[in-house]
Amino acid sequence: MDEAVEYAAKCPAAHVGAMEVRPIFQM
């Protein structure tokens, strides 16, 4: 989860895309 937070902080758009691609990852 920490890695996802850091990546999202750098690329918010990528975080949104990750939510669409992997909904479970968000949970």
Q: Which of 8, 6, 10 is nearest to 22 (CA)?
A: 8
CB 4 within 8 A of CB 16: no
Q: Is the pLDDT of residue 27 over 70?
A: no
Mean pLDDT of 2-21: 69
CA dist 25 and 12 (Å) reads 15
pTM over 0.75: no
CA dist 2 and 7 (Å) reads 9
Structure confidence at residue 6 as a pLDDT band (50, 70, 90) = confident
Mean pLDDT of 1-19: 69
What's the mean pLDDT when you consider all of the chain?
66
CA dist 4 and 18 (Å) reads 9
What pLDDT score does 5 carry? 73
Selected residue with higher pLDDT from 3 and 13: 3
User: What is the SS3 assignment for 13?
Assistant: helix
